[in-house]
Amino acid sequence: MNRFIKDTALSLGFDACGIAKADFLEEDAVYLRSWLNEGRHGDMHYLERNFEKRTDPRLLVPGCKSVVVTLLNYFPDEEQISTAPQIARYAYSAIDYHTIIKEKLALLEQKLVEEYGESIVAKDHQHIFVDSAPVLERRWAERAGLGWIGKNTLLISSQLGTFTFIGVLMINAETEYDTPMVEHCGKCTRCIDACPTRALAPREMNARRCISYLTIENKKEIPEEFLPLLSNRMYGCDICANVCPWNKKWAHPHHEQALTAFPGMLNWTAETWQNMTKEQFNAAFRYSAVQRAGYKKLMQNIRAANNLQSSARH
């Protein structure tokens, strides 16, 4: 079954697939509890919900025995022009990656049902997860042998680097499991040193200081202290990924047609972004991950990223 699942996942366009035994994530439960107690999640209160389910998939999905984890490479072959305010690479595509991966996972599930019968997944229950709060996807990817969690808190795949989307399919069958990968960060601290807002400590993220949080999840204005540190980022941040030597070694352009950017967007200048109307925003980002910020927040970010915030406020 292990081989069948992996071959099917690869045939559907995923770049890697691994399988882990569904189990209680004891160490993560202890860490997550103290992380939440210290308020490091900022305004992301949804992370406080479903605590028990988040650390034990058997409580999340009735009958769950195995966690199938897939990776989809999103490293683009073309970048935004460097003088424009920057979007994190994962959000380049005109179609939100959640949609793309969920469709692929649904096809994977369908093939498994055809091969092993309907009882392989929990009936009338969610068992597909993409970047969703109740599942610690990076930990499951590590347990499924797909990579390790680096000091930048990202999954580092030994085939793809860190620019991957993680998808999870919980199944109600036992199979052979993959061996978790050992960590290869060693003494390197490049990501920690490069983070402009000092959001990172080894394998620990203070979300309230991270540019990704400040430009997307934080719905208020970005606090004054962070404005000079945004490094021209308007939606998310790739700095701690860009400096990782494993990305220099392993990251390579994806082959997924569905991840194509809105036509011309990568060539928009700073001026184009600053003058973007709501209609233009909707035309370009109606189905994209950038919708998560919304037009108003994105325009605030653009002004902040370009250090135009003072003129906007006075």
Residues at the contact surface with ligand SF4, assessed by CB under 6 A:
150-152, 185, 188-191, 195, 197, 199-200, 205, 210-212, 237, 239-240, 243-246
From CA 171, how far away is CA 128, in angstroms rounded? Answer: 9
CB of 246 to ligand SF4, least distance (A): 6
CB of 256 to ligand SF4, least distance (A): 23
200 strand-pairing partners: 205
Nearest residue to ligand SF4 by CB is 150
Q: Dihedral angle at the C-alpha atoms of 280, 282, 287, 291, nearest 10 degrees?
A: 110
Fill in the DSSP letter of residue 222: P
Render the burial of 26-47: b for 16+ CB within 10 Å, e for the rest: eebeeebeebeeeebbbeeeeb
Residue closer to ligand SF4, measured from CB, 72 or 244: 244
Query: Distance of CA 256 to CAs 14, 100, 135, 204, 222, Å?
Result: 9, 10, 25, 31, 34
Residue closer to ligand SF4, measured from CB, 188 or 266: 188
Residue closer to ligand SF4, measured from CB, 84 or 199: 199
From CA 21, how far away is CA 4, in angstroms rounded? Answer: 17
Residue closer to ligand SF4, measured from CB, 189 or 282: 189
CB of 239 to ligand SF4, least distance (A): 4
CB of 183 to ligand SF4, least distance (A): 8
Active centre residues (catalytic): 131
Pairing of strands 155-157, 204-205: unpaired
